[in-house]
Amino acid sequence: MRVEIDTHTHTLASGHAYNTLNEMAQAAADKGLKGLAITEHAPEMPGTCHLFYFQNLRIVPRKKYGIELLLGTELNIMNARGEIDLPDSVLERLDIAIASIHMPCFKDERTIDNVTAAYEKVMEHPYVDIIGHPDDGRFPVDMKRLVKKAKETGTLLEVNNSSLRPEGFRENTKENCLEMVKECKAQGVMIVLGSDSHVDADIAEYPYAEEILRETDFPEELVANVSLEKLKACIKHGKKL
Protein backbone atom coordinates (compact mmCIF):
# COMPACT_ATOMS: atom_id res chain seq x y z
CA MET A 1 0.00 0.00 0.00
CA ARG A 2 1.44 3.35 -1.05
CA VAL A 3 1.28 6.06 1.61
CA GLU A 4 1.95 9.69 0.65
CA ILE A 5 2.19 11.22 4.13
CA ASP A 6 3.36 9.88 7.46
CA THR A 7 1.02 11.35 10.07
CA HIS A 8 3.02 10.70 13.26
CA THR A 9 6.70 11.64 13.70
CA HIS A 10 8.92 13.33 16.26
CA THR A 11 12.10 15.42 16.14
CA LEU A 12 14.73 16.35 18.70
CA ALA A 13 12.24 18.83 20.14
CA SER A 14 10.27 15.98 21.73
CA GLY A 15 13.25 15.20 23.94
CA HIS A 16 13.68 11.50 23.19
CA ALA A 17 14.00 11.52 19.40
CA TYR A 18 17.15 11.81 17.32
CA ASN A 19 16.82 14.03 14.25
CA THR A 20 16.12 17.65 13.41
CA LEU A 21 13.07 18.87 11.51
CA ASN A 22 15.22 19.43 8.42
CA GLU A 23 16.65 15.92 8.61
CA MET A 24 13.19 14.40 8.93
CA ALA A 25 11.90 16.40 5.97
CA GLN A 26 14.91 15.40 3.85
CA ALA A 27 14.38 11.73 4.74
CA ALA A 28 10.70 11.99 3.78
CA ALA A 29 11.72 13.51 0.43
CA ASP A 30 14.29 10.77 -0.13
CA LYS A 31 11.55 8.17 0.46
CA GLY A 32 9.31 9.78 -2.15
CA LEU A 33 6.62 11.07 0.19
CA LYS A 34 4.52 14.11 -0.63
CA GLY A 35 3.96 15.16 2.97
CA LEU A 36 5.15 14.71 6.53
CA ALA A 37 3.42 15.50 9.81
CA ILE A 38 5.70 16.58 12.64
CA THR A 39 3.77 15.91 15.84
CA GLU A 40 5.88 16.79 18.86
CA HIS A 41 4.83 15.63 22.30
CA ALA A 42 2.76 18.26 24.08
CA PRO A 43 4.08 19.92 27.28
CA GLU A 44 2.96 17.39 29.92
CA MET A 45 5.24 14.69 28.50
CA PRO A 46 8.47 14.73 30.53
CA GLY A 47 11.39 16.23 28.59
CA THR A 48 9.42 17.64 25.67
CA CYS A 49 9.15 21.20 24.38
CA HIS A 50 7.49 24.13 26.12
CA LEU A 51 4.19 25.74 25.20
CA PHE A 52 6.17 28.48 23.45
CA TYR A 53 7.41 25.94 20.86
CA PHE A 54 3.87 25.31 19.63
CA GLN A 55 2.93 28.98 19.75
CA ASN A 56 5.92 29.80 17.53
CA LEU A 57 5.37 27.14 14.84
CA ARG A 58 3.76 29.80 12.66
CA ILE A 59 7.26 30.97 11.63
CA VAL A 60 8.36 27.59 10.24
CA PRO A 61 8.01 27.11 6.45
CA ARG A 62 5.41 24.51 5.48
CA LYS A 63 7.47 23.33 2.50
CA LYS A 64 10.95 21.82 2.72
CA TYR A 65 12.82 19.73 0.13
CA GLY A 66 9.60 19.55 -1.88
CA ILE A 67 7.73 18.03 1.08
CA GLU A 68 4.57 19.61 2.46
CA LEU A 69 4.86 19.78 6.23
CA LEU A 70 1.92 19.56 8.61
CA LEU A 71 3.25 20.93 11.87
CA GLY A 72 1.31 19.86 14.92
CA THR A 73 1.37 17.93 18.15
CA GLU A 74 0.74 14.68 19.92
CA LEU A 75 -1.44 15.77 22.81
CA ASN A 76 -1.59 13.96 26.11
CA ILE A 77 -5.03 12.87 27.27
CA MET A 78 -4.84 13.66 30.96
CA ASN A 79 -7.89 12.01 32.52
CA ALA A 80 -11.29 10.40 31.97
CA ARG A 81 -12.76 13.84 31.23
CA GLY A 82 -10.63 13.98 28.10
CA GLU A 83 -8.65 17.02 29.17
CA ILE A 84 -5.58 17.75 27.04
CA ASP A 85 -2.41 19.77 27.52
CA LEU A 86 -2.57 22.54 24.94
CA PRO A 87 -5.19 25.32 24.84
CA ASP A 88 -7.58 25.80 21.93
CA SER A 89 -5.89 29.11 21.13
CA VAL A 90 -2.75 27.14 20.20
CA LEU A 91 -4.43 24.07 18.68
CA GLU A 92 -6.45 26.10 16.21
CA ARG A 93 -3.23 27.46 14.69
CA LEU A 94 -1.59 24.06 14.20
CA ASP A 95 -1.96 21.92 11.09
CA ILE A 96 -2.74 18.58 12.74
CA ALA A 97 -3.26 17.14 16.22
CA ILE A 98 -3.05 13.60 17.54
CA ALA A 99 -4.38 12.81 21.02
CA SER A 100 -2.87 9.85 22.88
CA ILE A 101 -2.75 8.31 26.32
CA HIS A 102 0.74 7.98 27.79
CA MET A 103 1.72 6.36 31.05
CA PRO A 104 3.41 9.44 32.61
CA CYS A 105 0.46 11.71 31.88
CA PHE A 106 -2.86 9.90 32.45
CA LYS A 107 -3.98 10.70 36.01
CA ASP A 108 -7.12 8.58 36.46
CA GLU A 109 -7.49 4.90 37.25
CA ARG A 110 -6.87 2.84 34.13
CA THR A 111 -10.23 1.08 33.94
CA ILE A 112 -11.99 0.29 30.68
CA ASP A 113 -14.74 2.81 31.52
CA ASN A 114 -12.28 5.61 32.33
CA VAL A 115 -10.10 5.02 29.29
CA THR A 116 -13.01 4.65 26.88
CA ALA A 117 -14.67 7.77 28.30
CA ALA A 118 -11.41 9.70 27.90
CA TYR A 119 -11.19 8.79 24.23
CA GLU A 120 -14.87 9.52 23.62
CA LYS A 121 -14.65 12.94 25.21
CA VAL A 122 -11.45 14.00 23.46
CA MET A 123 -12.85 12.94 20.06
CA GLU A 124 -15.53 15.60 20.49
CA HIS A 125 -12.81 18.26 20.39
CA PRO A 126 -12.89 20.27 17.15
CA TYR A 127 -9.09 20.24 16.79
CA VAL A 128 -8.34 16.59 17.61
CA ASP A 129 -7.82 14.86 14.27
CA ILE A 130 -6.38 11.46 15.22
CA ILE A 131 -6.40 9.12 18.20
CA GLY A 132 -2.87 7.83 18.61
CA HIS A 133 -2.03 4.21 19.45
CA PRO A 134 -5.30 3.17 21.15
CA ASP A 135 -3.86 -0.36 21.18
CA ASP A 136 -1.97 -0.35 24.47
CA GLY A 137 -3.35 -3.04 26.77
CA ARG A 138 -2.18 -1.05 29.78
CA PHE A 139 -5.10 1.27 28.92
CA PRO A 140 -8.04 -1.07 28.19
CA VAL A 141 -10.68 0.30 25.83
CA ASP A 142 -14.08 -0.77 24.54
CA MET A 143 -13.28 -0.93 20.83
CA LYS A 144 -16.89 -0.90 19.69
CA ARG A 145 -17.50 2.35 21.58
CA LEU A 146 -14.20 3.82 20.40
CA VAL A 147 -14.93 3.14 16.73
CA LYS A 148 -18.55 4.27 17.00
CA LYS A 149 -17.46 7.60 18.49
CA ALA A 150 -14.75 8.01 15.85
CA LYS A 151 -17.41 7.64 13.18
CA GLU A 152 -19.74 10.13 14.89
CA THR A 153 -17.03 12.76 15.29
CA GLY A 154 -15.02 12.26 12.09
CA THR A 155 -11.90 11.37 14.07
CA LEU A 156 -9.26 9.09 12.53
CA LEU A 157 -7.96 6.07 14.43
CA GLU A 158 -4.28 5.21 14.18
CA VAL A 159 -2.60 1.91 13.42
CA ASN A 160 0.74 2.66 15.04
CA ASN A 161 3.64 0.71 13.60
CA SER A 162 5.90 1.40 16.58
CA SER A 163 3.33 -0.07 18.99
CA LEU A 164 3.36 -3.31 17.04
CA ARG A 165 7.10 -3.93 17.21
CA PRO A 166 7.76 -7.30 18.90
CA GLU A 167 10.21 -5.59 21.26
CA GLY A 168 7.78 -2.77 22.08
CA PHE A 169 6.81 -1.82 25.64
CA ARG A 170 3.05 -1.50 25.08
CA GLU A 171 0.97 -4.57 25.93
CA ASN A 172 -1.19 -6.84 23.73
CA THR A 173 -0.93 -4.38 20.87
CA LYS A 174 -1.41 -6.79 17.99
CA GLU A 175 -4.53 -8.39 19.45
CA ASN A 176 -6.00 -4.99 20.34
CA CYS A 177 -5.13 -3.46 16.98
CA LEU A 178 -6.67 -6.39 15.11
CA GLU A 179 -9.88 -5.93 17.11
CA MET A 180 -9.93 -2.20 16.38
CA VAL A 181 -9.27 -2.61 12.66
CA LYS A 182 -11.93 -5.30 12.29
CA GLU A 183 -14.39 -2.98 14.00
CA CYS A 184 -13.35 -0.08 11.73
CA LYS A 185 -13.93 -2.28 8.70
CA ALA A 186 -17.35 -3.32 9.99
CA GLN A 187 -18.42 0.26 10.78
CA GLY A 188 -16.73 1.92 7.78
CA VAL A 189 -14.39 4.07 9.88
CA MET A 190 -11.23 5.66 8.49
CA ILE A 191 -7.78 4.90 9.86
CA VAL A 192 -4.29 6.26 9.36
CA LEU A 193 -0.97 4.44 9.36
CA GLY A 194 1.45 6.21 11.70
CA SER A 195 5.10 5.28 12.03
CA ASP A 196 5.51 7.12 15.36
CA SER A 197 9.03 7.65 14.11
CA HIS A 198 11.58 9.06 16.52
CA VAL A 199 14.41 8.68 13.99
CA ASP A 200 14.55 9.47 10.28
CA ALA A 201 15.07 5.86 9.18
CA ASP A 202 11.61 4.89 10.47
CA ILE A 203 9.61 7.45 8.51
CA ALA A 204 6.82 5.78 6.51
CA GLU A 205 8.00 2.31 7.49
CA TYR A 206 4.92 0.20 8.29
CA PRO A 207 5.81 -3.52 8.18
CA TYR A 208 3.80 -4.43 11.28
CA ALA A 209 0.89 -2.13 10.48
CA GLU A 210 0.65 -3.55 6.97
CA GLU A 211 0.55 -7.05 8.43
CA ILE A 212 -2.55 -6.02 10.40
CA LEU A 213 -4.21 -4.74 7.24
CA ARG A 214 -3.38 -7.93 5.33
CA GLU A 215 -4.72 -10.17 8.09
CA THR A 216 -8.01 -8.27 8.14
CA ASP A 217 -8.23 -7.68 4.38
CA PHE A 218 -8.73 -4.02 5.25
CA PRO A 219 -9.97 -1.86 2.35
CA GLU A 220 -7.55 0.77 1.06
CA GLU A 221 -10.37 3.29 0.68
CA LEU A 222 -10.60 3.46 4.48
CA VAL A 223 -6.92 4.44 4.86
CA ALA A 224 -6.78 8.23 4.91
CA ASN A 225 -3.07 8.81 4.32
CA VAL A 226 -2.71 6.88 1.07
CA SER A 227 -3.04 10.36 -0.42
CA LEU A 228 -1.91 13.71 0.96
CA GLU A 229 -5.03 15.41 -0.34
CA LYS A 230 -7.27 12.68 1.07
CA LEU A 231 -5.65 13.02 4.49
CA LYS A 232 -6.08 16.79 4.45
CA ALA A 233 -9.73 16.39 3.49
CA CYS A 234 -10.30 13.90 6.33
CA ILE A 235 -8.76 15.77 9.26
CA LYS A 236 -10.67 18.43 11.13
CA HIS A 237 -7.78 20.83 10.68
CA GLY A 238 -8.09 20.23 6.94
CA LYS A 239 -10.91 22.73 6.84
CA LYS A 240 -8.34 25.51 7.27
CA LEU A 241 -5.36 24.09 5.34
User: How does pLDDT run across 4-53, given as a tens digit for each residue?
Assistant: 999 999 999 999 999 999 999 999 999 999 999 999 999 999 999 999 99
pLDDT for residue 241: 61
Q: Alpha-carbon distance 219 to 223, whole Å?
A: 7
pLDDT for residue 121: 98
Residues 6+ apart with CB under 8 A from 207: 161
Residue-range definition of the domain harbouring residue 154 = 5-239
Q: Name the E strands within the chain.
A: 5-6, 35-41, 63-64, 67-76, 96-100, 130-131, 156-160, 191-194
pLDDT for residue 239: 73
Tell if the pTM clears 0.75, that is, is over it: yes
CATH of residue 232's domain is 3.20.20.140
Q: Do the bridges between strand 96-100 and strand 63-64 make them parallel or antiparallel, or are there none, so unpaired?
A: unpaired
The answer to whether 64 touches 38, Cβ cutoff 8 Å, is no
pLDDT for residue 238: 83
pLDDT for residue 61: 97
pLDDT for residue 1: 81
Residues 6+ apart with CB under 8 A from 169: none
Q: CA–CA distance from 236 to each of 94, 129, 155, 178, 191 (Å)? A: 11, 6, 8, 25, 14
Helix 143-153 vs helix 112-123: angle between axes, to the nearest 10 degrees? 10
| N-to-C CA span, the chain | 25
Residues of the chain with pLDDT under 50: none
Q: Alpha-carbon distance 91 to 184, whole Å?
A: 27
The SS3 call for residue 157 is strand
Q: Name the E strands within 34-168.
A: 35-41, 63-64, 67-76, 96-100, 130-131, 156-160
pLDDT for residue 240: 66
How many domains does one find in the chain? 1
